[in-house]
Every structure is written in C-alpha cells, then in structure tokens.
Structure 1
Amino acid sequence: MSVSYYDASANTRADFPHLAGEMRADVCVIGGGYTGLSAALELAEKGFAVTLLEAERIGFGASGRNGGQIATGYTPGMVDTQEIVGPDETARLWKFSIEATRLLKDRIASHNIDCDLRHGELYAAVKPRHRDWLLEELTHCEKAYGYERYKWIDREDLGNHLATDRYCGALLDEEGGHLHPLNYALGLSMAATAAGVTIYENSRVTEVTDGRTARVITAAGSVTADYVVLAGNAYLGDLSKTLAAKIIPVDTCIIATEPLGAARTKTLMMTDACVSDTNFNLDYFRMSADYRLLYGGRDKLISDGNVTGAALRRNMLATFPQLEDVKIDYAWGGKVAITRNMLPDVGRCGSIYYAQGYSGQGVPLSAIVGRVIGEAIAGDAGRFDVFARIPHKPFPGGTALRVPLLTLARLYYGLRDAL
C-alpha cells in the first residue's frame, strides 16, 4: 500500500530531464508543485524565460498527495483573520480567495486539465461550539462581503446529504469543490511547458545565492537568473533556515477504499461535495470518480514514515460504521506546512520571492499566489504586497524545536477536540 491512489490513477506524465550544466533564465522557480507551476505559467505568459527545478518529480510533494479539496477563505476563518490583519486587509484577502477558486477552475477549463473537478464543500460541525462558529462565519461573510454561496444545513436535514449521525450541522460552500490533485499538477506542468517553461526533474537545489543576479545550484548544474521563486513549502528542506523556522511540516494521511460502486456510494453520500470536519486534527473525505471513499486526516496518523492507514480507518468507521466490511486498497502520507497564525506566508528578500504555509488551503490559494508573484516580478507588486503584509513570526526555537512543539500541539488539540 505504499503507492498512493493518485499515483495509481494518474494521467500520462511527461518525463522531464535533470539539469546538467550551466543555464541562464529570467526567473528560476524552485519546486514543481502548485505554487511553482502557477508562478511559472504566469511568468511565461508574460514573456519571461522561466526555468523550473523539481527535486523529485512534478507533484511529488503536497501537491500530489493532498485531499484535493477546494475551499473559500482561509484556515483561521474570516472572523479570526480580521483580528490578525484588520478589516480592510481581510476584505482584500477575501477577494483574493474568491478569485483563487475561480482562477483554478478557469485554468482547468482553458487548459483542458482532466482532474475530475466536482463542486461543493461541506464544513461539518462535530460539536455545538463548532456549529456556532460556522454560523458566525456565515453571517460575517454575508454581511461583510456580500457572499451568498454559503448555505446552512441543520442536523435534521444533514441526513439527506450524509449517512452519518456524527455531525450537528454543516455549512455548504457552493463555490468550493474537489479534484484529483496529482492530475491537476500534471496538467499545470503541461500548460507551463506549452507556454515555454523549461522544466527539470530530479534536480534538487542545494544552494541559492542572491546578488545582482541569483545563482541556483544543483548537484549537476546551475541556473543564473534575475529572480528566484522559492516554492518548496513543506519540502523546502535546508534551503532557507529563516523561512523554515516560520512553518511546521505536518503529517497528513489518506486512505482509499476499494471501489464501492455507484449504488452504495449514494447510500453514504447523497452529495457530490467533499467534506471537512471542524476539529483541529480534522478528518476530510470525498468520493473519487471511480466510487472509492478517500478519507484523510491530519497529525498523529504517521509513525516513523510507516503509513498503514489503521488509525485513519478507525476514524472512517466512526463516521461511516456501515463500511466495516470494506477493504482499504491504498494508504499514503505526506506533509503540509502550517504557520503560527494559519495564514499563508508570502514575501520576498532581494531577488528571491517565496510562498509557503498555506495551512491546508493550498489547492486554491496557490493559484492566486502564483499570479501575484508573476505580477510582482513583472513590476506591479500592489496585490503581492497584500499577502506580504500578513504578519508572521518564527516558531520558538526555530527548526530545532519544531518536532517537540508539534508533539505538544498534537496533545493539546487532541484533548480539546475530545472535550
């Protein structure tokens, strides 16, 4: 079960060469996930000569392993985001979120990316206080932003959407949705290549030096460029200790059941929407195009890199006990990056631009972040600076204390979820 369902159901992928020798580009993008590919595509469409370096293969990191969920807004919720950055900046960030979702869908359509796009996301309240929080978010977004795509589903009606009694209500986001994440990444790589981006796989960057021109070094070559985009996120490694200290790579795991068939699927989920619950150590799930239940969870589900899916299967059965007889065909894990305030960390230092720490919202937000990075490098940093103004602090102790801090956080939030 080491191969993910996404790998097993991936579209045909291109084989890109590894970097060998010295190259010159206007922009060197580091990372072949959504952010790197989106920024590369935007820049190439603006006429820049772009080289993209991926340490493994396109979509190897979180972009090819995640839950595939598309959500409006930001992980803390818009009420808490307003407390962090103020009402005016929050309104701007909200508009970016709306644009991100629509941009993602437009790219899928315009580049004919076959990634099983479906519409709708349900935020499911596990406890009454979660229900109250979701209702507060709904009211705030209606009044502050005129958003009319949230629909409240009471406990009494929720049984018409999900065959479970685990939740006390849900908020449906009609602008949300879900997709096959790896196939979306592969489609972006094809679009970027068609736009003129030069992609190298198996080309791990070992050093980046800034100056009048930047130099990006790999084991077998280098790229000299006017600008660099660091888009490694949770897989950034040691390229920048300053950036790494502002995120914690968090383990996440997903299991995929055997095919359930259309009829049985409709007895479990009478909706095409994906689902995410409101715990900190959240569960999220959706149906695949071939009628498998894909069930994911964050934290404490991976031990020493051994992903068995046993703990996550217990979570799945707590939601759908009627699946006791169902086999698990795939189990895989990966890492997502979270920041202290759960908002994306986007910025620049000299000629180096970076984006990281989407905190679970990377599928849609990477689209708009890639666009504003392209705008900034092209000379208009107005929209980029909205993201860059979000305040971020490093985790105490930097990278050295990330694992102990994450362990304590898991214990704390696990207890809070349970109470």
Structure 2
Amino acid sequence: MTDPLANSYYAATAHPWRSSYEMGEDLSFDVAVIGGGFTGLSAALACAERGFSVILIEREHIGFGASGRNGGQLIPGLRWSASELEDEFGRERADALFDLCWRKNRVKARIEQHGIDCDLKSGHLEAAWTPKDFGAMQREAEFLATRFGYQSDVVPKDDMADHIASPLYQGGVHDPQGGHFHPLNYAIGLARAAEAAGVRIWEGERVHRITDNPDGPGVMTDRAHVGAHYVIDATDSWIGEVEPDLGRYTVPIMNYNVATAPLANADALLPSDAAVADSRFVLNYFRLSADKRLIFGGGESYSQVPPADIAAFVRPYMAEVFPQIAGAKIDYGWGGVVAVTLNRLPHIGRRGNIFHAHGFSGHGALVTTIAGELVAEAVAGTAERFDILANLPAKPFPGGKWLRRPLATLGLLYYAMKDKLG
C-alpha cells in the first residue's frame, strides 16, 4: 500500500534487508506468526531456538508498523508505575511483574547476542512538567530503591541543565537502565537472527483470518492456507482485521515524529545524550540520533488522516521545548499508529493454541521483546512467566464497533485539556 507516513529517518538509514523466502508447496509449520514487529519477530526467533519450524507472515515489510516508526525510547517497565502495580495487584504479583518488565532487558541481550547494529545508547530521563509531577517522580524513585533495590537518579530543577537545555521542566528522574536506539534497525537485526535460526519470513502477504480446524489452527492468506500447530497473532494495531473480537480491546492513536537536519549544537541540547519523555498526558519525547539530529515526537491526533505537513504539525511542540532551534531545518516527518488499551496495560493471552500479544500503549519498545519470548515459552509448554502478563486485567472499550473510538477520543481529549490547564 502507498504509505503517506513513510518519510522516516529510520527508513532512510535502515540496513539492507530482504527476505529470502518464496512461497513453496509445503505450507505446514509448527508455528505461524502473524506480524513482523518486535513482538512477532522475538516470538518467531525464540520458537525457532526451541526447535520449532516457524513461518512469520507480514503484510508489508519487517518493521512496517509501530516497531519501525516509534521514538526509539527504551523505557523500563509498563505504563503503570511499580507502586501502582503493587497497590492494585499485591506484593507477590508486583515482584513478578517487576522482574519481567524492569530487570529483564531482553532488548540489550538480543543486541549483544546477535551483534545488532542499532545505535544503542544508555540513559532515559523522565521530565516533570509540573512540581506536582516531580514530587510523584521522587516518591516513585524512592519506592523503587527501597522496595526493589532499583537505582535511578533524582534530578532537581536546578540540575536539569545537565540533561536538557530547556527551562520548561521542574525536575526529573534519570534511569541509567533505560536508553534509546534505532528501532527499525533493531527489527531488521531480529529478522536476520530469526532467518538464521530457520524462520521463514514471508513479506508482502496479507493474513485474512485465523482458521481453527479440528486438526489444528492455521492462517488464511491472500494466496494460501498455512497450517500450523500454533498461531501467534502479533498484529497490534491491525489485530481487529485478523481477529475482530480482539480489536475491541484497543483504539488507534496517531503519533508523529520529526528528525531535524544534523545540528551543530546537538550535544548542548541534550548534554547527557539521554532519551527524554515528559510527564504530560499528551507527552513530548525526544532524543539525539547517532548523526546528531534531534528526533522529536509531539502531539497526538485522534483522526486517522495524517496532517498534510507533519513537520509543520510537530514543529510548535519542538519549538516550545527548544526555542533555540525553532527554525531548524527538518529533514524527515513521519507517523504511525499506537494501539492503546483501556487501562494502558498490554493485552496478552491465548485461546487454545492461538496466542495474542498487543496493546502496549506506547510503552512497548522494551517489553515487546520479552512478551514475544514469553509466548514462545508457553508454546513450548512452560506458561508460568507467560501467565504473569496474560493475567493482567483487560476490558474492551465501551461503545461497540461504531462508538468505541469516538468515546475513547472524548476521554483522551479530556486529559489533553488537563495538560493545557496545568
């Protein structure tokens, strides 16, 4: 399909990749994975490492969706804080979730294991928009340190210049376990590793539906029926097109990013080279690329029609944070869809031999890799760790097929208005 959002810095600087797979006569596999993003790739790779025959089917190309378009921010954890998880689920479940989603940096492990060249950098800064936000960050940092021994650095407002040359923020928390990377090159690196492990990667093929026959599930594509003992649906924002019932659990939110031309003063803008995300509901998030561009994401759109000029849409947000580069040349402007759940926790589960993992709600660059690996563990018969994420609560959005998205949009607009009113 023609993609109006494809003017991406990541696509322009991606490593060469082309799948070697061509449709053959034997279309029967142990595992069929739908979706070539982080979740599907990591699941396919981990299944192949366990000795399963695996096919991964991607409608477009590897990293086409959010995995190849996001801000490149590696933020440990989930959208809920660790203290919120403990308050809601109790100490034992909070321990298990923390171990998976904060301590297990499987992205870094995969990068090291497979020698993936994706501009990995350490350090993530959460920047407080208000003094109240900073107070909450301080309390959470203390909770993480005393409860889990997880160390981060509280940054008072007077010290924020060590990280960001902007007067807007009231302090922050710097997490050295976080970081940033080139997400599309990470996806391509996973695809290369998966193919080397024996995964057949079939790009440019659309899956219409999952079949659930008495002799096992499979998938129906444009050109064939692919049989499998297990199916893993990792289509995220497009899951409703494959499994309409699961589409009720997310709504699509459009996010937009720009990349400036290389900046002579790039290091002065972000002296610690950390990725930054602020505390507003409709947040700004930004970082430096390896070639000293500012990659900046700002604003959200509840329309599926992208702005005619993405650079013009994002520039005011960038200029608010960094007025010193308000007129900087912008070389790239792109966007993509984020699948958001009602409670902002991922929706992971299974129905017999059909698995799904989606709805990472804009916080998936780290957790999608381990989510895919946990699905592979469950396929192999060990579901204890998979169940930790699969047992997270999930509810469909209210309103049915026609009202679900408008009602969700009203709620999101309410919180966006709260941002503006402080």
TM-score computed with the length of structure 2 as normaliser: 0.95
3-state SS of 2:28 partner:
strand
Superposition pairs for residues 16-27 of structure 1, below 5 Å? 16-17=20-21, 19=23, 23-27=27-31
The 1:20–1:308 alpha-carbon spacing in structure 2 relative to 1, beyond 3 Å, is farther
2:319 is equivalent to residue 325 of structure 1: no
Q: Distance in 2 between matches of 1:309 and 1:17?
A: 37
2:100 is equivalent to residue 131 of structure 1: no
2:196 corresponds, among 194, 197, 200, to 194
2:345 is equivalent to residue 343 of structure 1: yes
- Mean alpha-carbon deviation: is it higher for 44-53 or for 202-211? 202-211
Q: Distance in 1 between matches of 2:153 and 2:91?
A: 23
* Cα deviation, residue 401, structure 1: 2.2
Letter in 1 for 2:209: E
* Cα deviation, residue 303, structure 1: 6.3
- Mean alpha-carbon deviation: is it higher for 119-128 or for 363-372? 363-372
The answer to whether the 8 Å contact 1:38/1:370 transfers is yes
Structure 1: 4+ residue segments shifted above 4 A:
16-22
1:309 corresponds, among 305, 308, 311, to 311
- Mean alpha-carbon deviation: is it higher for 73-82 or for 53-62? 73-82
2:234 is equivalent to residue 231 of structure 1: yes
Q: Distance in 1 between matches of 2:304 and 2:330?
A: 18
Aligned residues: 415
The answer to whether the 8 Å contact 1:244/1:399 transfers is no
Q: Deviations over 1:283-336 (max 9, x none)?
A: 100000111000013522866123523231100000000002311111101011
Q: Distance in 2 between matches of 1:391 and 1:215?
A: 28
Gaps of 5+ in 1: none
2:300 is equivalent to residue 299 of structure 1: yes
Gaps of 5+ in 2: none
* Cα deviation, residue 81, structure 1: 2.3
The answer to whether the 8 Å contact 1:18/1:203 transfers is no
Letter in 1 for 2:383: A
3-state SS of 1:416 partner:
helix
Q: Distance in 1 between matches of 2:291 and 2:411?
A: 36
* Cα deviation, residue 17, structure 1: 4.6
The answer to whether the 8 Å contact 2:253/2:302 transfers is no
Calculate the aligned-residue CA RMSD, in Å.
1.6
3-state SS of 1:182 partner:
helix
The answer to whether the 8 Å contact 1:154/1:168 transfers is yes
2:119 is equivalent to residue 112 of structure 1: no
1:246 corresponds, among 249, 254, 264, to 249
Q: Distance in 2 between matches of 1:179 and 1:40?
A: 22
3-state SS of 2:45 partner:
helix
Q: Distance in 1 between matches of 2:146 and 2:123?
A: 21
* Cα deviation, residue 25, structure 1: 0.2
The answer to whether the 8 Å contact 1:276/1:283 transfers is yes
The 1:21–1:409 alpha-carbon spacing in structure 2 relative to 1, beyond 3 Å, is farther
Correspondence for 2:102:
98
Q: Distance in 2 between matches of 1:290 and 1:301?
A: 32
Q: Distance in 2 between matches of 1:255 and 1:190?
A: 28
TM-score computed with the length of structure 1 as normaliser: 0.95
